[in-house]
Amino acid sequence: MSLNIPDIIGLFQSKGHAQYDGEPVTQLGHALQSAHLAEQAGADSALITASLLHDLGHLLHDFGGTPTQQGLDDLHQYRCLPFLRPLFGPATLEPIRLHVDAKRYLCVREPGYLEALSPDSQRSLVLQGGVFSNAQMQDFEALPHARDAIRLRRWDDIAKCADAVVPELAHFIRHIEISAGLHLRSTKG
């Protein structure tokens, strides 16, 4: 039930060509753009890896097409966690888990954010529980990795350019390896 680094690369190679639901980029293109934006912003390897893998859950289901148009929330932010948990620690996994909640948070916290979301992001927002209440917003702010989830969310929102020029997947493998290595060292004591 877990993925190793070659498995992750293979998943992107075999399914990454699929269209990113409702957007002008592929799944792999979106992942690479997100990771590139994180790297350009000076994020550490754990957050760059989270940015690369945040939508991996979309590649782990067989709903096909655009699940939101079928009225489905594919729960991608959770779907990938069991596969990644043996390889990565909270600094990578928590921003992935929280990036959908970060969207729900920003809809309350930042005027105009909701209106600026793409049509598919707006559609998925409804399926994902809608805009946070004030209490949910405060609970989210108190979470240890909320700030990184918000940073990831912002990169996620803009990583949808059809003609973006970004490094290939091989460029980001070192960040995956660093992030996995940090987790491995922390679990050994």
pLDDT tens digits, one per residue of 7-31: 999 999 999 998 876 788 999 999 9
Q: What is the mean pLDDT of residues 158-179?
A: 96
DSSP code per residue over 70-108: GT----HHHHTHHHHTTT--HHHHHHHHHHHHHHHHHHH
For domain 5-187, the CATH class is mainly alpha
Q: What is the pLDDT of residue 119?
A: 85
Q: Is the model's pLDDT at 110 over the cut of 90?
A: yes
Q: What is the mean pLDDT of residues 111-127?
A: 91
Question: Is the separation of the CB atoms in 77 and 97 below 8 Å?
Answer: yes
Whole-model pTM? 0.94
Per-residue pLDDT tens digits for 43-69 = 999 999 999 999 999 888 766 666 667
**Distance between the two ends of the chain, CA-based, in angstroms?**
24
Per-residue pLDDT tens digits for 78-107 = 999 999 999 999 999 999 999 999 999 999
Spatial distance between the Cα atoms of 12 and 47, rounded to a whole number of angstroms: 18
Specify which residues 19 forms β-bridges with.
Answer: 26
**Mean predicted lDDT score pLDDT of the chain:** 92
Q: Give the residue extent of every domain in the chain.
A: 5-187
Instruction: Return the number of other C-beta atoms located less than 10 Å from residue 47's C-beta.
Output: 25
Q: Is the model's pLDDT at 160 over the cut of 70?
A: yes
